Amino acid sequence: MEIKFNDLFKQWEIIEKDVNPRLEELFKRSDFINGKAISEFEKNFAKYCGTKFAVGVSNGTDALKISLAALELESPCGIIIPANTFIATALAITYLSDLNYEIVLIDCDEYYQIDGDLLESYLKNNRKKWKSCVIIPVHLFGHPTDMKRVLELAKTFECLVLEDSSQAHGAIVLNKKVGYFGDISAFSLYPGKNLGAAGDAGVITTNSEELYDRVKSLRNYGSSKKYYYDFKGWNNRMDTIQAIIVDEKLKHLDRWNDMRIEIANKYNNLLKNEKNIITPKMAPYINKQIYHIYAVRVKNRDKFQ
């Protein structure tokens, strides 16, 4: 019996009847770029996250890149990320060629999130060497970072916060969904994510109208008005067809996340007496972990696989 790591066709079977009429409308309207469905998804996703604004973009890496650019950082700048994140978190920083930056890797805690004690220690000893600083907590595997601690440190050491929420759509901490806390937040909508498109897509959330306007411009060549360019931006717009897909999936996201939690609880129960397998822990400070990945730790990893 073959068990698929992620059966995306099952999701399509659920949304197909609702998506197809919207696709027919899309082809009739032919608004494939900056189409009506994009603003509809942005409004719905912002409401879902509890933020004032959301902006659809081309993918999660571009969401991180545009978010950093929108912050208009001063050089030299320190950008702090967890050491165990996906490469896109670090790679997005390197696209800001005009910024004199230093990438700092901080190890993780027992929940695989950036370690607050190590972060505080590093900032105490190094913050003064930079004019600006950004902390990028990554809600890895669907488990939220301790945002209370991160926000306190950001305030104390005058840092901005960019949440990398790419693996945690719908996860909750401090009774708010991730993507709410940072000055700005980036989400990937890669097909395998808890909220995934039918191709590449991403979305940015913020409560700042200034950042919202800047992000909308940066994703569209730096233009807020046709043939007028305020910034050196990129062609990083979301395709309308992807907005339709994720907008329909968004309606089912909480239920799908709850199903993941049920399955994770079954795994926890079945593996609780296995001494050689360390199952995921859930921090007492979070309200909901949505198990983008059920990651176990074992010795002799390759042999175990």
DSSP assigned state of 7: -
Question: Domain coordinates of the chain in residue numbers?
Answer: 8-250, 253-304
Q: Look at residue 131 in the predicted model and tell me its pLDDT.
A: 98
Q: Are 289 and 171 in contact (CB under 8 A)?
A: yes
Gap between the Cα atoms of 90 and 239, Å rounded = 25
- Token pair 């995934």 in the structure block, residue: 196
Q: What Rg do the C-alpha atoms of the chain give, in angstroms?
A: 20
What single-letter amino acid sits at 243?
A
Instruction: Show the tokens assigned to 62.
Output: 């571009």
DSSP assigned state of 221: T
Q: Look at residue 55 in the predicted model and tell me its pLDDT.
A: 98
Q: Look at residue 187 in the predicted model and tell me its pLDDT.
A: 98
Give per-residue pLDDT as tens, 118-134. Answer: 999 999 999 999 999 99
Q: Look at residue 114 in the predicted model and tell me its pLDDT.
A: 98
DSSP assigned state of 279: P
Q: Look at residue 225 in the predicted model and tell me its pLDDT.
A: 86
Q: Look at residue 2 in the predicted model and tell me its pLDDT.
A: 83
Which residues have C-beta within 8 Å of that of residue 210, sequence separation ≥ 6?
none
Structural element, H or E, at residue 232? none
54: left (phi over 0), alpha (psi -120 to 50) or beta: beta
Q: What are the Cα distances from residue 130, in Å, to 6, 90, 111, 126?
A: 43, 18, 29, 8
Instruction: Show the tokens assigned to 257.
Output: 């996340």
Strands 77-82 and 101-106 come out as parallel
Instruction: Show the tokens assigned to 240.
Output: 């309308």
- The low-confidence residues of the chain, meaning pLDDT below 50, are none
Q: Look at residue 5 in the predicted model and tell me its pLDDT.
A: 85
Gap between the Cα atoms of 294 and 288, Å rounded = 14
Q: Are 58 and 238 in contact (CB under 8 A)?
A: yes
Q: Look at residue 75 in the predicted model and tell me its pLDDT.
A: 97
CATH of 8-250, one of 3.50.50.60, 3.40.50.2300, 3.40.640.10, 1.10.3720.10: 3.40.640.10
The pTM assigned to this predicted structure is 0.96
Kindly provide the residue ranges of all beta strands, DSSP E only, lying in 156-208, ordered along the sequence: 160-164, 172-173, 176-177, 184-188, 202-206
Q: Which long-range contacts (CB under 8 A, 24 or more apart) does 22-28 make?
A: 22/244, 22/248, 23/241, 23/244, 26/240, 26/241, 26/244
Q: Which of 142, 148, 145 is nearest to 166 (CA)?
A: 142
Neighbours of 238 (CB within 10 A): 29
Length of the chain: 305
